[in-house]
């Protein structure tokens, strides 16, 4: 098993024995070192308990219900064990049973675990949001406490996850506002005993603002304005382009017509004359 130094650990234990069930008052229970049966870490007779364990161990189960779970408080870094359970019945013959094949060794944890904080990547403004903070521990009789840096409704729960480990969980519910956006939220765990420091986990709150009429109208108007501007710009460019084309066509038409007119006048002025003054001159003919 595992135990956090300076806190406590509960060794879950149940037992069976052949005799008929007896009330707790007639059952003597003890926990002892595996290799030294007379070194008791717990005994009905406190005078028999090792000095180092006096006032630090107690049974938290009902022996009449065959529950022999043991709590060790203020765990020391040398409380490794192994430890075994023994029971003696106040019956004729005093039946005794030692469960030496089911002993427990403890591994010490020097550093406390940080809590695990879980939340949605984004929360909606004005809608209920839930943040979850949990931590695992080994001290059933003294549960750790979980606290939040943000106000809201909290629900605590505890769960046995097996092999002497439990999980404490706190759910925080609140309604985010836009002022919460990008603020930090912190979950702090406080362990039983003299565990040094308070372990924390922190996350950032990302709030999606609630959609309003302005959120709808402003983008729509901006989009229409941009579309209108682009449309007017296109009309202006097309109109200017058409005017330019018309101007070029007009210039080309005038140039061609002017050249054709000049050529026509030249041709008419020289037609039917071969000399100056337009007097027709006959050419001499040779006779043979």
What CATH class has 2-109?
mainly beta
Distances (CA, A) of 120 to 172, 186, 203, 208: 13, 15, 10, 12
- CATH topology classification for 116-208: Immunoglobulin-like (2.60.40)
Q: Do domains 2-109 and 116-208 have the same CATH topology?
A: yes
Domain ranges of the chain: 2-109, 116-208, 213-250
The confidence score (pLDDT) of residue 272 equals: 46
Q: What is the pLDDT of residue 224?
A: 78
Q: Model pTM?
A: 0.63
The string of pLDDT tens digits covering residues 83-122 is 999 888 776 566 777 788 889 999 988 888 889 998 888 8
The confidence score (pLDDT) of residue 280 equals 45
- Would you state the structure tokens that stand for residue 2, as one six-digit string? 């595992």
Question: Residue 267 pLDDT more than 80?
Answer: no
The contacts of residue 204 (CB under 8 Å, 6+ apart) are 182, 183, 184, 185
pLDDT, position 105: 93
Residue 20 has a CB neighbour count (10 Å cut-off) of: 7
- Residue 222: is its pLDDT beyond 80? no
**Residue 155 confidence class, pLDDT cut points 50, 70, 90:** very high
């Amino acid at each position: 098993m595992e135990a956090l130094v300076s806190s406590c650990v509960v060794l879950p234990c149940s037992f069976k024995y052949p005799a008929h069930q007896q009330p707790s008052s007639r059952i003597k229970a003890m926990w002892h070192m595996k290799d030294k049966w007379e070194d008791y870490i717990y005994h009905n007779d406190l005078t028999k308990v090792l000095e180092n364990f006096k006032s630090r161990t107690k049974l938290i189960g009902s022996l009449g219900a065959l529950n022999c779970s043991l709590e060790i408080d203020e765990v020391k870094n040398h409380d490794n064990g192994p430890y075994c359970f023994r029971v003696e019945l106040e019956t004729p013959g005093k039946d005794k049973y030692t469960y030496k094949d089911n002993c427990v060794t403890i591994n010490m944890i020097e550093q406390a675990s940080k809590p695990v904080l879980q939340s949605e990547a984004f929360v909606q403004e004005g809608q209920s949001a839930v943040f979850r903070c949990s931590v695992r521990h080994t001290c059933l009789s003294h549960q750790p406490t979980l606290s939040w840096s943000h106000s809201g409704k909290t629900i605590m729960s505890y769960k046995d996850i097996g092999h002497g480990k439990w999980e404490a969980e706190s759910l925080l519910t609140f309604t985010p506002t836009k002022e919460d956006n990008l603020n930090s939220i912190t979950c702090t765990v406080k362990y039983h005993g003299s565990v040094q420091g308070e372990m924390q986990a922190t996350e950032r709150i990302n709030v999606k603002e609630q959609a309003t009429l302005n959120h709808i109208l402003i983008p729509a108007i901006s989009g229409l304005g941009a579309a209108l501007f682009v449309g007017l710009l296109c009309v202006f460019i097309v109109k200017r382009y058409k005017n330019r084309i018309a101007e070029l066509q007009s210039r080309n038409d005038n140039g061609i017509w002017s050249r054709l007119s000049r050529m026509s006048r030249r041709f008419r002025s020289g037609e039917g004359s071969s000399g100056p003054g337009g007097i027709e001159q006959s050419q001499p003919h040779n006779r043979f």
